[in-house]
Amino acid sequence: MTTIKSLQCRECKKEYAPTFKYICDECFGPLDVHYDFPSVNKNTFANREHTYWRYFELLPIAEKSNIVSIGAGMTPLIKAEKLGEALGLNNLYIKNDSVNPTFSFKDRPAGIAVSKAKEFGLSAVGCASTGNLASATAAHAAKGGFPCYVFAPSDIEHAKITQALAYGANFIAVDGTYDDANRIAAQIGDSKGIGIVNINMRSYYVEGSKTLAFEVAEQLDWQVPDNLVIPVGSGAMLNAICKGFEELESLSLLGKVSNMHMIAAQPRGCAPIVDAFKKNSSDVIPVESPDTIAKSLAIGDPGDGRYVLKRLKQYNGYAEESSNREILDAILLLARTEGIFTEPAGGVSVAVLKKMVEERKIDKNDSTVCYVTGNGLKATEVLMEILSKPQTMQADIAKISAMVR
């Protein structure tokens, strides 16, 4: 059994019982899960199932019977020799989270939140989504037997809408931005008692993403990487990855994590955290109308933006952006060197990684982990704008044979 000690306010540190609650009564700060961890060692996890539930003792679900799992996690950490060679890095890894069951890393936080909804006995779940969380929540809701309500901007990719509908979600396509959808989801969640995974269940939700730290640490044979390149929308994932590494250090599963460098990657057109970082400001000024092909990162008012800036300071990090063209080029570079096809969010990571190397902010012998968080099949439209559609040929061997050298 996992023992949660409390929910603790990230700002004023006030502690609360671990209930269906997410905001501090005193200061409105976000609440984080704190644990009384049992004693674990490297062998505890060694022969377990190949999903993130292998770290059950470190996750915020009390009873194993409440787990709602579709088999997510334990995705490959690829030694990216060819991409490394192209960029000039000797020790590059890709965490390929595009191969999760719903094809993005969102299966991690969604699975934890839906399991917690089961533990709380809630009757329905939902989310505010830029696209990928819709499918991740809907799939886990289907598996757990919950009705699911998705609130998302109407202009997200077709494949993402189709996928969420296929799992049976009620899809509310909002004519507006992600921030509009988020506001509506928050009010409906509170008034109807629905577990909105990334809003009123956020304290538990974010715990899923810290498994991106646990897996990388285990896959590197419990070594701390030097650099981590992380795509950032709300900033919840970057923050959770830091928390994950810190928990492993506190459990003596890892050495000192304070020398890691966290690199936040955002798309130009929706890069409020990069803007603040470059101005050396601790205030994130919201982007009113995000404009980027990286729709899963199109969050103009990032909930964890301030905390990402703190993490970048704490971990000697950087924040950098990439243009639409750089994103598309990076998608093709990754696909053509490593055989990994990512959506624009993953292109943002690779494009920013490339910039960091060019600006000599990453040493070529450092161990560097680049997180690729979503699958290319979810966003093919934008890519076809720069690829040429094959011309249809008559089924004639002679003519076609002339095309093959």
Ligand X SMILES: *Cc1c(COP(=O)(O)O)cnc(C)c1O
Binding site for ligand X (CB under 6 A): 104, 106, 130, 132, 231-237, 296-297, 345, 373-374
Pick what 24 binds: ligand X, Zn ion, none; C-beta below 5 to 8 Å, kind-dependent. Zn ion
Whose Cβ is closer to ligand X: residue 69's or residue 209's?
A: 209
| Least CB distance to Zn ion at residue 290 (A) | 30
What is the DSSP track for 137-179?
A: HHHHHHHHT--EEEEEETTS-HHHHHHHHHTT-EEEEESS-HH
| Least CB distance to ligand X at residue 149 (A) | 18
Pick what 236 binds: Zn ion, ligand X, none; C-beta below 5 to 8 Å, kind-dependent. ligand X
Pick what 237 binds: Zn ion, ligand X, none; C-beta below 5 to 8 Å, kind-dependent. ligand X
Whose Cβ is closer to ligand X: residue 91's or residue 375's?
A: 375
| Least CB distance to ligand X at residue 331 (A) | 12
| Least CB distance to ligand X at residue 39 (A) | 30
Burial of 165 (0-12, 13-18, 19+ CB in 10 A): middle
Pick what 26 binds: Zn ion, ligand X, none; C-beta below 5 to 8 Å, kind-dependent. Zn ion
Helix (H) or strand (E) holding 371: strand 368-372
| Least CB distance to Zn ion at residue 239 (A) | 17
What is the DSSP track for 317-344?
A: -EEEEE-HHHHHHHHHHHHHHH---B-H
| Least CB distance to ligand X at residue 374 (A) | 3
Pick what 11 binds: ligand X, Zn ion, none; C-beta below 5 to 8 Å, kind-dependent. Zn ion
| Least CB distance to ligand X at residue 235 (A) | 5
Whose Cβ is closer to ligand X: residue 116's or residue 202's?
A: 202
Task: Name the maximum alpha-carbon separation found in the chain.
Answer: 78
Which residues, at least 6 apart from 84, have a Cβ–Cβ distance to it below 8 Å? 90, 91, 92
Whose Cβ is closer to ligand X: residue 333's or residue 345's?
A: 345
Nearest to 371 by CA among 354, 352, 346: 346
Nearest to 327 by CA among 300, 304, 296, 305: 296
Which residues, at least 6 apart from 332, have a Cβ–Cβ distance to it below 8 Å? 383, 386
**Tell me, what DSSP letter sits at residue 260?**
-
Q: What residues line the site for Zn ion (CB under 5 A)?
A: 9, 11-12, 14, 24, 26-27, 29
316 vs 88, 250, 258, 262, 303, CA distance in Å?
22, 20, 9, 7, 22
In angstroms, the CA 292 to CA 323 distance is 8
Pick what 67 binds: Zn ion, ligand X, none; C-beta below 5 to 8 Å, kind-dependent. none
Pick what 241 binds: Zn ion, ligand X, none; C-beta below 5 to 8 Å, kind-dependent. none
Whose Cβ is closer to ligand X: residue 59's or residue 156's?
A: 156
In angstroms, the CA 111 to CA 137 distance is 7
Whose Cβ is closer to Zn ion: residue 27's or residue 166's?
A: 27
Residue nearest to ligand X (CB): 374
In angstroms, the CA 54 to CA 50 distance is 7
| Least CB distance to ligand X at residue 225 (A) | 18
Whose Cβ is closer to Zn ion: residue 304's or residue 321's?
A: 304
Q: Name the E strands within 195-252.
A: 195-196, 227-231
| 78 contacts 132 by C-beta, under 8 angstroms | no
Pick what 12 binds: ligand X, Zn ion, none; C-beta below 5 to 8 Å, kind-dependent. Zn ion
Whose Cβ is closer to ligand X: residue 115's or residue 239's?
A: 239
